[in-house]
Amino acid sequence: MRPKFHKKELRRVRGHYFYLRRKLGKLKKFDAMKSESIINKERRVIDDLLHKISREIINRDKKESAVIILGDLRGIRKQNKGRKFNKKLNSFLCYHLSQFIEDKDAWGE
């Protein structure tokens, strides 16, 4: 079975909050832009999505008796592939997702 990538929903959420912060910055609403409510809301939504993705990966692993391989991604962000690609790459929470997968896998055994 082919691997499934969950990039659209994460990219949509990250893009929405990026747009919101940029819009508030242009309006010179720096306090609102850096407010805890916006930062916490984005974090909660992203964490929820990462939990769902990690749960789906673990469930698929159990169902198909597959092996989960998490590669070493250190240094991947130091590449300079252009502004647009760097923004997409740096907005993905690789470590956070890998921690969720490891925790869920250890808990399920």
Rounded to a whole number, what is the distance in angstroms from the first to the last CA of the chain?
Answer: 23
pTM for this model (two decimals) = 0.72
Q: Which pLDDT does position 34 carry in this prediction?
A: 74
Amino acid letter at 102?
E
pLDDT band at 28 (very low <50, low <70, confident <90, very high): confident
Determine the pLDDT at residue 17: 87
Q: What is the pLDDT of residues 33-46, one digit of tens each?
A: 777 788 888 889 98
C-alpha 22/C-alpha 26 separation (Å) is 6
For residue 76, what is the DSSP state? G
78-108 pLDDT tens trace: 777 788 777 777 667 778 888 888 888 888 6
Burial class (CB in 10 A: 0-12, 13-18, 19+), 41: middle
